[in-house]
Chains A and B, each alone.
Chain A
């Protein structure tokens, strides 16, 4: 659309101010994380005169960065892998089978999509205790599979409809078993929606706070977010330390964002439109 020069300039101005506000807290966190406490309190806006990376080495130890990151990675990878494995199998089969049983199972999965996490957190913590999965990184991942599988089934169910049945029939004639057909022929074709699901679930699991808070008690098993939360509670006046920890926590996702920006945005748009 063509706009007059003036209007176009105003829009640029508006967007620039918005971009400044958007970036402002991140910028502040970064520049102040390399100042000493004293330098910071004389001015938050001034650029640091000397880079004090000792804040970072301190934060690095305090949030047990390598260990926490590893925990987050384990939870995310197992969680996402499990969701994709379970949901692809179920979503595909439910989409391909007609009949009352299949429809009933599908509705059973969909029925809970609006249930807020806070409505199940009490019974869920008890269930996790009863099954001895609370307090463990793998147990946490297992719970994420249970919570995330319905949305993924819904997306797979819709996507499978666009794949022609002839492929499966050809595979069957060639002597492929049902599971073999699925893993060799169908699953690779589901890649676009699998990427979408992986991205949405990664953003959810990596950034989630409440479920790890409820499930994990041992600080050795804390996820990155949880460790930072603990640090924030313990050192609530030592801003240089806190900011360094916040930057360290935010950095991995920002880097991932830098690399996969296009996929992430596509994933969100696709997930929203199909959901």
Chain B
């Protein structure tokens, strides 16, 4: 497959051991190859560098300074911002803990619901397409629009239903009481996100050979046993992917909370991204400090992702 290009690229650029004719053509060809590589890559690399790479590096750089975004004179304060965020900023720590709780709920619930729906839908032949369409539909609607729709349901519809019927458990301060609104946030996130994971699980389930399941049934396995012992081990890669996607998405939650509670009442439902946003754009322009908070978010996501992938990849190998 790779013979021709490899021949040239495996020869180091600067030193050519042979003198004479070949020595001239090889470096030129090599030089040409580099040029053509750069020509193909340049548009992507330039735009990517400007809007993603440099901001990433810049954010990390500023996180060690006391820059306020305006003053050209700023100084390095080492880990000062990080220490302040984690030790002296209860709002940030609360937002962090609130987000972690949210992530935990989402990872479990989103995947359980998505997998159950996928498995159930898979057993249907005639109504499969219909259910798939309906369950995925909320995912098409922008998160923020979903949150607004549910604000209507939570603040208007449910209280009215509770009033008119005997279902008094529906009469909650769905949005006003932080204890309840945590679950409101979860409900909307699930409503919006389960369909996406369900599609991935459905695709994985279709890859499980029918013959294996039939063999298990002939051997006398119950449907649940078949699922547990045959199907589930065959779709572990999908489980890993969905856990990864949920974990990554949930740490970055912003729109649902913004649309439903705005972080309130007070800062009781503030998530970490909201705290960063507030620090950077609506408070006192402490860019350095806000950057440190966003670096903390990045590091947390990185750590959890590596742990999750590491653990689940090992499981996958075993299975």
How far in angstroms is the closest Cβ of chain A from B225?
A: 11
Given the known inter-chain contacts A14-B120, A105-B41, A242-B148, please indicate yes or no for A123 contacting B291, CB distance below 8 A.
yes
Q: Report the separation of the CA atoms of residues A39 and B293 in the bound assembly, to the nearest whole angstrom.
A: 48
A77, CB-defined interface residue at 8 Å: no
Question: Are B55 and A120 in contact (CB-based, < 8 A)?
Answer: yes
Chain B 192-242 interface residues, beta-carbon cutoff 8 Å to A? 195-196, 199-200, 202-203, 213, 217, 223, 226, 237-238, 241-242
A86, CB-defined interface residue at 8 Å: yes
B27, CB-defined interface residue at 8 Å: no
Per-residue CB contact flags for chain A residues 199-224 toward chain B (1 = under 8 Å, else 0) read 00001001111100010000000000
Given the known inter-chain contacts A15-B121, A142-B51, please indicate yes or no for A149 contacting B127, CB distance below 8 A.
no
A193, CB-defined interface residue at 8 Å: no
Number of A-B contacts (CB under 8 A): 279
Q: Report the separation of the CA atoms of residues A210 and B257 in the bound assembly, to the nearest whole angstrom.
A: 13
Question: Are A229 and B144 in contact (CB-based, < 8 A)?
Answer: yes
A residues within 8 A CB of B45?
90, 105, 108-109
A45, CB-defined interface residue at 8 Å: yes
Residue of B nearest to A118 (CB): B273
B residues within 8 A CB of A119?
56, 59, 294-295, 297-298
B301, CB-defined interface residue at 8 Å: yes
Q: Report the separation of the CA atoms of residues A255 and B173 in the bound assembly, to the nearest whole angstrom.
A: 34
Question: Are A246 and B41 in contact (CB-based, < 8 A)?
Answer: no
B62, CB-defined interface residue at 8 Å: yes
How far in angstroms is the closest Cβ of chain A from B198?
A: 10
Given the known inter-chain contacts A118-B297, A147-B51, A210-B254, please indicate yes or no for A268 contacting B120, CB distance below 8 A.
no
Pick from A44, A124, A208, A214: contact of B51, CB under 8 Å = A124
Q: Report the separation of the CA atoms of residues A116 and B281 in the bound assembly, to the nearest whole angstrom.
A: 17
Interface of B is mostly: helix
Question: Are B156 and A239 in contact (CB-based, < 8 A)?
Answer: yes
Chain A 72-122 interface residues, beta-carbon cutoff 8 Å to B? 82, 85-87, 89-90, 92-94, 96-99, 101-102, 105, 108-109, 112, 114-122
Question: Are B138 and A22 in contact (CB-based, < 8 A)?
Answer: yes
A57, CB-defined interface residue at 8 Å: no
A-B pairs with lowest CB-CB distance, top 9: A146-B51, A93-B40, A269-B203, A99-B9, A207-B142, A123-B55, A86-B44, A123-B58, A90-B44
Q: Which residues of B contact A (CB under 8 A)?
A: 1-2, 4-6, 9-10, 33-34, 36-37, 40-41, 43-45, 47-48, 50-56, 58-59, 62, 69, 117, 120-121, 123-124, 127, 131-138, 140-146, 148-150, 152-153, 156-157, 160-161, 164, 191, 195-196, 199-200, 202-203, 213, 217, 223, 226, 237-238, 241-242, 245, 248, 251-252, 254-255, 258, 272-273, 276-277, 280-281, 287, 290-291, 294-295, 297-298, 301-302, 305
Q: Which residues of A contact B (CB under 8 A)?
A: 1-3, 7-8, 11-12, 14-15, 18-19, 21-26, 28-29, 32, 41, 43-45, 82, 85-87, 89-90, 92-94, 96-99, 101-102, 105, 108-109, 112, 114-124, 126-128, 131, 142-143, 145-147, 149-150, 153, 165, 169, 178, 182, 203, 206-210, 214, 225, 228-229, 232, 239, 242-243, 246, 249-250, 253-254, 256-257, 261, 264-265, 268-269, 272-273, 275
